[in-house]
């Protein structure tokens, strides 16, 4: 009996299991293999780090229209829904848009260093994913910058060599969302091909100014050159166009959560990626891989967060910007088994060259004070116009050894060089940016870990590792004077256990961690109206993460993922008079949980019903720790029926129609003036009760 990994969260009571389990123990499940732990296939039980694999069965069962529905099944992960696949993230960090995470596709970053985008996962085609692996904690020793709170690796689905098949699907919701999906694959001799994608549209529904559409397609071809050589090519393109309704003041959030002050804010994205990977096996003990990648990305936006009120209630200011980049790079690595040490060594080199162009214009906005709506805008001149070339060569290596029975030791390091060649096309100034310059950073990241297998069903792991984040281009060159910023560095300590219980029916994965941050970039206020970025922050993030999957017998199954964490400012001085050291970070819930109980009736083959509980604990809305969001609990219900290639499914999200916020913040500093919730608090409304239904038909090799 296979225990499906990570389609739920939190533990099932041990008292229940013996009562419902079948008397005969099932066969041991196949050993789970992951690739993100060391850039090559590795049994999960040998991975000395916190890693969750969300397999294709999990992705398919959820019928997700948003990647967060899948990722939130991993412990300690919360990806919020900011509308039309836009998102922020929390993995061992507060819920924010900061550059704490690295997003990969087949092991290659979706974006280059210095150009982090918290929305980057909207560039992914979920229909093209075979599985997703999530590393919690730093992995810079393998993948480089921004791998701090977590690393998400989306692995494209390989085409099958046995025959061909296709599938078509349509779905729609009662809130104006519609979608069509397709997949087709086939093979000719040593060549297998797969194409998959979807087109979605959102019109009307519960929220004003929230229309959007996306088209995404992935093409993959696997060619077996010989018994030892394989050539894999992947091409993905996504187009997204979305309105941006923005946040609401306290009174509007409470009384009319679907309202929007905006009528013209938008974001339009085109993202294309190519990856060609040649893999050659020199012997049964050695393999080399050469990967060539290309990227092109353009984003034009007039976002809600760049609209600013002025002293005149009928006038506001805003900014519209256009950013595009093109990248070329490669990754070459070799894996060599070491029989004498019962281990292996992985080593490689990486190069990423990116050319980025950015322009930004000032806008003047007409505002209606009565409705608080922004009605129209006129252009008010160019503000920013620059190019920056980003070069990131790196070398990395990891050694794995078995120093004594049942113990496996791993040691890894990566050396990164990061070069920024910035050219300001405008005259330098306070708003037009810094003078042209070239700047370089160098960083050595490390990781050490050990796995001890005490029995075939139990393994323990411990690790220490480091992540880092160089300053973003926007932090370096947004002012007249370029600040002297260093890279922020984070050191992590992990201790965990993986164990199978009750005759292989239950899989438990638990760990504790501490993550220490140094030289974090903060906006330091020198005097009122004058601030600058500085390396002035130290933080601590520590917690417990727990994941459980259980086959309960009689068609019942349960899965759970939960986390308890504290995110604290160890040192965070914003000005000579404002010091938040010792306080909790904003938007940092102590508890996150996702639990699913599912039933597949033994007498009705192909049917499945699942109830999901999503919990987000309360958190401070400001750094002063004076205004709190209460958190929320949501119930979701899913049902599906599969028969003769047909899949009929439905999901009811937010069953109880809970009013909640996807994100909440407050500008009240706790020091100056009176607290005014309606003027200082902002909420991003969550969706009300939503029913979605869909149907899929599959045939050939894609038939369920």
* Cα dihedral sign, 477-478-480-483: negative
pLDDT reported for residue 15: 34
pLDDT reported for residue 520: 81
Q: Report residue 537 CA to chain centroid gap.
A: 24
pLDDT digits (tens, 9 = 90+) for 618-638: 999 999 999 999 999 999 999
pLDDT reported for residue 669: 82
Which of these ranges, 23-27, 241-245, 414-418, has the smallest mean pLDDT? 23-27
pLDDT above 70 as % of the chain: 94
Residues 685/248, Cβ–Cβ less than 8 Å: yes
* Cα dihedral sign, 102-103-109-110: negative
pLDDT, greater one: 40 or 504: 40
Residue 527 in domain: yes
Residue 8 in domain: no
Mean pLDDT of 278-292: 96
pLDDT reported for residue 4: 40
DSSP for 365-406, please give it: EEEETTTTEEEEEEEEEEEEEEEEEEEEEEEEEEEEEEEETT
Q: Extract the runs of DSSP E, i.e. beta strands, from 9-49.
A: 33-34, 42-43
Q: Is the pLDDT of residue 696 over 70?
A: yes
- Give the pairing type, strands 101-105 and 150-156: parallel
Q: Is the pLDDT of residue 24 over 90?
A: no
Mean pLDDT of 583-598: 97
pLDDT digits (tens, 9 = 90+) for 666-694: 989 877 778 999 999 999 999 999 999 99
Phi, then psi, of 253 in degrees rounded to 5? -60, -40
Under DSSP, the state recorded for 472 is P
Residues 165/699, Cβ–Cβ less than 8 Å: yes
Mean pLDDT of 43-49: 94
pLDDT reported for residue 527: 52
Q: What is the chain's length?
A: 704
CATH (domain of 54): 2.40.170.20
pLDDT reported for residue 533: 72
- Integer Cα distance of 147 and 141 in angstroms: 9
Helix (H, G, I), strand (E, B) or coil at 26: coil
* Cα dihedral sign, 36-38-42-47: negative
pLDDT reported for residue 502: 87
Residue 202 in domain: yes
Confidence tier at 704 by pLDDT (50, 70, 90): low
Residue 548 in domain: yes
Q: Is the pLDDT of residue 205 over 80?
A: yes
pLDDT reported for residue 457: 93
Domain of 525, in residue numbers: 17-700
How far CA 264 is from CA of 130, 302, 375, 422, 458, in Å, comes to 37, 8, 8, 32, 56
Confidence tier at 484 by pLDDT (50, 70, 90): confident
pLDDT reported for residue 1: 33
pLDDT reported for residue 485: 84
Left (φ > 0), alpha (ψ -120 to 50) or beta: where does 178 sit?
A: beta
Residue whose entry in the numeric block shows the structure tokens 């549209």: 201
Q: Is the pLDDT of residue 364 over 90?
A: yes
pLDDT reported for residue 116: 96
pLDDT reported for residue 528: 52
Mean pLDDT of 435-448: 96
- Integer Cα distance of 106 and 388 in angstroms: 26
Which of these ranges, 106-115, 215-224, 431-440, has the smallest mean pLDDT? 431-440
- Integer Cα distance of 429 and 450 in angstroms: 52
Residue 3 in domain: no
pLDDT reported for residue 14: 35
DSSP for 484-495, please give it: -PPPEEEEEEEE
Q: Report residue 583 CA to chain centroid gap.
A: 26
9's CB contacts (< 8 A; 6+ apart) are: 72, 73, 75, 547, 559, 560, 561, 562, 593, 594, 595, 596
Q: Is the pLDDT of residue 395 over 90?
A: yes
pLDDT reported for residue 352: 99
Confidence tier at 26 by pLDDT (50, 70, 90): low
Mean pLDDT of 303-312: 94
Among residues 315, 295, 175, the alpha carbon closest in space to that of 237 is found at: 295
Mean pLDDT of 373-392: 97
Confidence tier at 581 by pLDDT (50, 70, 90): very high
pLDDT, greater one: 357 or 667: 357
Full-model pTM? 0.95
- Integer Cα distance of 93 and 90 in angstroms: 5
- State the burial class of residue 314 (Cβ atoms within 10 Å of its Cβ: 0-12, 13-18, 19+): exposed
Q: Is the pLDDT of residue 10 over 70?
A: no
Average pLDDT, the chain: 93
- Integer Cα distance of 137 and 28 in angstroms: 30
pLDDT reported for residue 16: 36
β-pair partners for 201: 178, 213
Domain count within the chain: 1
**352: number of CA atoms within 13 Å, CB side?**
26
- Integer Cα distance of 650 and 288 in angstroms: 45
Residue whose entry in the numeric block shows the structure tokens 């009174």: 251
- State the burial class of residue 41 (Cβ atoms within 10 Å of its Cβ: 0-12, 13-18, 19+): exposed
Residue 682 in domain: yes
pLDDT reported for residue 370: 95
Residues 170/695, Cβ–Cβ less than 8 Å: yes
Residue 379 in domain: yes
pLDDT reported for residue 524: 58
Q: Is the pLDDT of residue 237 over 80?
A: yes
Residue 7 in domain: no
């Amino acid at each position: 009996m296979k225990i499906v990994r990570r389609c739920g969260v939190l533990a099932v009571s041990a008292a229940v299991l013996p009562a419902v389990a079948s008397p005969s123990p099932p066969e041991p499940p196949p050993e789970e293999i992951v690739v993100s732990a060391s850039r090559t296939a590795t049994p999960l039980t040998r991975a000395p780090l916190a890693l969750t694999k969300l397999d294709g069965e999990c992705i398919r069962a959820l019928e997700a229209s948003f990647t967060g529905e899948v990722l939130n099944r991993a412990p300690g992960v919360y990806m919020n829904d900011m509308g039309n696949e836009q998102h922020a993230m929390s993995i061992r960090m507060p819920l924010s848009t900061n550059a704490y995470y690295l997003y990969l596709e087949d092991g290659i970053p979706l974006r280059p260093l210095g150009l982090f985008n918290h929305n980057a996962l909207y560039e992914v085609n979920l229909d093209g994913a075979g599985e997703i692996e999530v590393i919690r904690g730093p992995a810079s020793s393998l993948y480089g910058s921004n791998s701090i709170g977590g690393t998400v690796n989306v692995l494209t689905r390989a085409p099958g060599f046995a025959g061909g098949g296709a599938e078509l699907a349509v779905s729609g919701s009662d809130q104006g969302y519609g979608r069509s999906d397709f997949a087709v694959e086939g093979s000719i001799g040593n060549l297998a091909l797969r194409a998959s994608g979807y087109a979605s549209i959102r019109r009307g529904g519960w929220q004003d100014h929230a229309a959007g559409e996306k088209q995404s397609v992935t093409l993959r071809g696997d060619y077996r050159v010989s018994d030892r050589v394989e050539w894999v090519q992947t091409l993905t393109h996504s187009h997204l166009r979305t309105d941006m309704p923005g946040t609401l003041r306290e009174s509007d959030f409470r009384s009319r959560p679907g309202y929007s002050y905006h009528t013209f804010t938008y974001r339009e994205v085109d993202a294309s990626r190519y990856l060609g990977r040649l893999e050659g096996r020199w012997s049964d003990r050695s393999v080399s891989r050469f990967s060539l990648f290309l990227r092109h990305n353009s984003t034009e936006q007039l976002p809600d967060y760049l609209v600013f009120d002025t002293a005149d209630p009928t006038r506001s200011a805003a900014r519209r910007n256009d950013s595009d980049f093109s990248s070329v790079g490669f990754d070459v690595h070799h894996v060599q088994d070491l029989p004498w040490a019962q281990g292996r060594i992985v080593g490689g080199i990486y190069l990423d060259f990116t050319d980025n162009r950015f322009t930004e214009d000032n806008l003047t906005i007409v505002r209606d004070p009565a409705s608080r709506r922004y009605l129209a805008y006129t252009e008010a001149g160019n503000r920013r116009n620059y190019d920056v070339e980003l070069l990131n060569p790196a070398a990395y290596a990891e050694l794995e050894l078995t120093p004594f029975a049942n113990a496996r030791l791993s040691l890894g390091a990566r050396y990164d060089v990061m070069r920024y060649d910035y050219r300001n096309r405008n005259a330098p100034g306070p708003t037009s940016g810094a003078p042209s310059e070239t700047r370089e950073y160098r960083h050595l990241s490390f990781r050490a870990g050990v796995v001890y297998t005490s029995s075939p069903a139990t393994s323990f792991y411990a690790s220490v590792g480091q992540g880092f984040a160089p300053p973003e281009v926007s932090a370096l060159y947004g002012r007249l004077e370029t600040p002297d910023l260093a890279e922020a560095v984070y050191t992590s300590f992990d201790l965990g256990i993986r164990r199978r219980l009750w005759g292989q029916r239950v899989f438990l994965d638990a760990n504790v961690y501490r993550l220490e941050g140094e030289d974090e970039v903060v906006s330091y206020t020198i005097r009122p109206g004058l601030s600058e970025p500085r390396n002035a922050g130290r933080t601590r993030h520590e917690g417990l993460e727990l994941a459980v999957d259980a086959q309960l017998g009689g068609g019942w199954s349960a899965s759970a993922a939960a986390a308890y964490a504290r995110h604290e400012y160890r040192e965070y001085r914003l000005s000579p008079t404002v010091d938040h050291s010792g306080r909790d970070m904003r938007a940092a819930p102590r508890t996150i949980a996702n639990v699913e109980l599912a039933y597949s009736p033994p007498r009705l083959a192909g049917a499945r019903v699942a109830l999901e509980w999503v919990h987000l604990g309360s958190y401070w809305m400001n750094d002063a720790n004076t205004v709190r969001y209460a958190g929320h609990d949501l119930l979701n219900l899913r049902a599906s029926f599969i028969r003769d290639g047909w899949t009929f499914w439905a999901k009811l999200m937010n069953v109880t129609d809970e009013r909640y916020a996807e994100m909440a913040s407050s500008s009240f500093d706790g020091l100056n003036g009176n607290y005014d919730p309606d003027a200082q608090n902002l909420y991003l409304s969550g969706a009300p009760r939503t029913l979605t239904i869909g149907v899929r038909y599959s045939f050939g090799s894609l038939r369920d």
